[in-house]
């Protein structure tokens, strides 16, 4: 999708000025075509053209009556898209040519005036930015839905203790709610990244032309406002060559997918016989073709596996963009398939994880028992000695020897007698450390800690933040929906092709 006369196919109706004497090789036509995937931009393309031709009419660049006829034809094409009757072909090369070809069939040669003061380069950049705005809002909605599901599950298990891990070894007890809120914190950063990407993509490049601006008295700001953009791009060269907004979106998708993969990995582990902390509902699990006893956490496994593809799309686009001279190059046609697939993939995972989480059954008893097993309360014992004046390193060593002794004797801390505690250190003769997970988590009453009051406060703060972001999202969705909506009344266009 290059600028006019640069990368359009030679010969035929797309020759743009007759520069080429022969028709394109059929292999070039197939290799060059992007209409098979960029047809997803058809609504954005039509709407961008509507804004452009309205401006042309207002500025007197095109007679207002002709601008009105072109706009009517564009809305007719929109109706065909909505009805499933719009049928682009490989011969159209790209969605922009397909729309213009159909427009010419409807309104005749006047359709050729639509491309006045515009290049394919600023046209496609506008279309893709407009589409990306919608994609970012959809992704943000999915992130909020998952965050709310995590908050709901946390509320239902707010007093349940579980082992926290480092190196995948039981470390210290935490609340299950605290563990789930860690993923809410990750998703809050994802939401912030999406909003930041939205802020940067929200600029209209239309009017930049092929690379240097245009020679007509256009009104770029009016077009930007018509399309719901917050402003215009500031440099025509950068405007047509920039795909940072694609990379922003892919980066956000990659990090969302990474976070979802980490959550999925834990769900897979927790569903295993080795953990038995959680069991997915039958509706979100699969069986084995040969082993009748199996209940596989396939949803979480697929979410984990799809992350590789999303990260791959980010890397691919970085490599495409890294060596491109200004301004437009045909390489940038590679910006769409990976973007579309990354967005689709992340949205699919964000759609299925909330109901999976809400229907997963957590084994409270097993989680609680595991929170106290394998000397997960050892740090509490060392902390007690340190609070009573021992240097922490000495306290650490003392409790380490106690753990070794218990392992040798086949005992736990709970099995030790008063005398055995006193033999470890005199302080333990007077006071013993927490011996239950609830006591341990309650002691960690610091901001960001796992004590129940801190977890409840963090839960309330996260819920308030999500509500504020949801309000912002709904406002932006309403703006974009109004842009991508036909006017209530418009002039009819004949169904029969206009005379040539």
- Which DSSP helix (H) or strand (E) runs through 251? helix 244-271
Query: Which pLDDT value is given to residue 217?
Result: 98
Query: Which pLDDT value is given to residue 210?
Result: 97
Please give the average per-residue pLDDT across 394-419, as a whole number.
Answer: 94
Query: Which pLDDT value is given to residue 28?
Result: 67
16: CB partners within 8 A, 6+ apart: 4, 5, 8
% pLDDT > 70, the chain = 93
**Residues known to be catalytic:** 167, 288
Name the band, by pLDDT with cuts 50, 70 and 90, for residue 3. very low
What ranges in 279-391 are assigned the alpha helix state H?
Answer: 298-321, 337-359, 364-372, 378-387
Average pLDDT along the chain:
92
Please give the average per-residue pLDDT across 235-260, as a whole number.
Answer: 98
Q: What is the pLDDT of residues 117-140, one digit of tens each?
A: 999 999 999 999 999 999 999 999
Cα–Cα nearest to 314, from 254, 390, 245: 254
Query: In order of start, what are the domains of the chain with their CATH numbers?
Result: 33-116 (1.10.275.10), 122-369+458-483 (1.20.200.10), 378-433 (1.10.40.30)
| Rounded Cα gap, residues 156 and 266, in angstroms | 19
pTM of the predicted structure, to 2 decimals: 0.91
| Rounded Cα gap, residues 415 and 375, in angstroms | 12
Of residues 86 and 497, more confidently modeled: 86
Query: Which pLDDT value is given to residue 299?
Result: 94
Diameter of the chain measured on Cα atoms: 105
| Rounded Cα gap, residues 338 and 344, in angstroms | 10
Q: What is the pLDDT of residues 5-23, one digit of tens each?
A: 344 443 334 444 567 777 7
76 pLDDT exceeds 90?
yes
Name the band, by pLDDT with cuts 50, 70 and 90, for residue 498. very low
Query: Which pLDDT value is given to residue 37?
Result: 76
Query: Which pLDDT value is given to residue 322?
Result: 95
**DSSP letter string over 115-140?**
GTT--HHHHHHHHHHHHHHHHHHHHH
């Amino acid at each position: 999708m290059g600028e006019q006369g640069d990368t359009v196919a030679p010969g035929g109706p797309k020759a743009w000025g007759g520069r080429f004497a022969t028709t394109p090789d059929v292999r070039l036509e197939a290799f060059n075509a992007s209409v098979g995937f960029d047809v997803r931009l058809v609504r954005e393309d039509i709407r961008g053209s509507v804004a452009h031709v309205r401006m042309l009419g207002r500025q007197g660049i095109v007679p207002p009556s002709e601008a009105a006829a072109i706009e009517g034809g564009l809305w007719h094409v929109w109706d065909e898209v909505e009805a499933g009757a719009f049928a682009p072909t490989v011969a159209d090369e790209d969605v922009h040519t397909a729309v213009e070809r159909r427009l010419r069939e409807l309104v005749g040669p006047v359709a050729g005036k639509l491309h006045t003061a515009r290049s394919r380069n600023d046209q496609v950049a506008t279309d893709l930015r407009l589409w990306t705005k919608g994609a970012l809002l959809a992704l943000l909605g999915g992130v909020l839905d998952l965050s709310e599901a995590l908050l709901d599950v946390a509320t239902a298990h707010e007093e349940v203790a579980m082992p926290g891990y480092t190196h995948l070894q039981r470390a210290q007890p935490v609340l299950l709610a605290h563990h789930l809120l860690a993923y809410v914190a990750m998703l809050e950063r994802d939401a912030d990244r999406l909003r930041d990407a939205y802020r940067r993509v929200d600029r209209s490049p239309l009017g930049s032309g092929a690379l240097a601006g245009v020679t007509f008295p256009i009104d770029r700001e009016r077009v930007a406002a018509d399309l719901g953009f917050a402003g215009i791009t500031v440099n025509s060269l950068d405007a047509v060559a920039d795909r940072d907004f694609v990379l922003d979106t892919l980066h956000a998708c990659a990090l969302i997918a990474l976070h979802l993969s980490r959550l999925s990995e834990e769900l897979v582990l927790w569903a295993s016989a080795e953990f038995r902390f959680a069991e997915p509902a039958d509706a979100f699990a699969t069986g084995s073709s040969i082993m009748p006893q199996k209940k596989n956490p396939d949803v979480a496994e697929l979410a984990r596996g799809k992350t590789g593809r999303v990260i791959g799309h980010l890397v691919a686009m970085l490599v495409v963009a890294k060596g491109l001279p200004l301004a437009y190059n045909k390489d940038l046609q590679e910006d769409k398939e990976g973007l579309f697939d990354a967005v689709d993939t992340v949205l699919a995972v964000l759609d299925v994880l909330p109901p999976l989480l809400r229907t997963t059954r957590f084994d409270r008893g097993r989680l609680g028992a595991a929170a106290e097993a394998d000397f997960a309360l050892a740090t509490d014992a060392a902390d007690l000695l340190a609070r009573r004046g021992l240097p922490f390193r000495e306290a650490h060593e003392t409790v380490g020897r106690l753990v070794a002794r218990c392992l040798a004797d086949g005992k736990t801390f709970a099995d030790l007698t008063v005398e055995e505690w006193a033999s470890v250190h005199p302080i333990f003769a007077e006071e013993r450390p927490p011996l239950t997970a609830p006591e341990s988590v309650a002691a960690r009453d610091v901001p960001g800690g796992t004590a129940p009051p801190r977890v409840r406060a963090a839960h309330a703060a996260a819920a308030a933040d999500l509500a504020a972001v949801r309000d912002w999202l709904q406002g932006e969705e309403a703006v974009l929906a109004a842009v991508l909506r036909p006017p209530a009344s418009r002039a009819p266009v004949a169904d029969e092709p206009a005379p040539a």
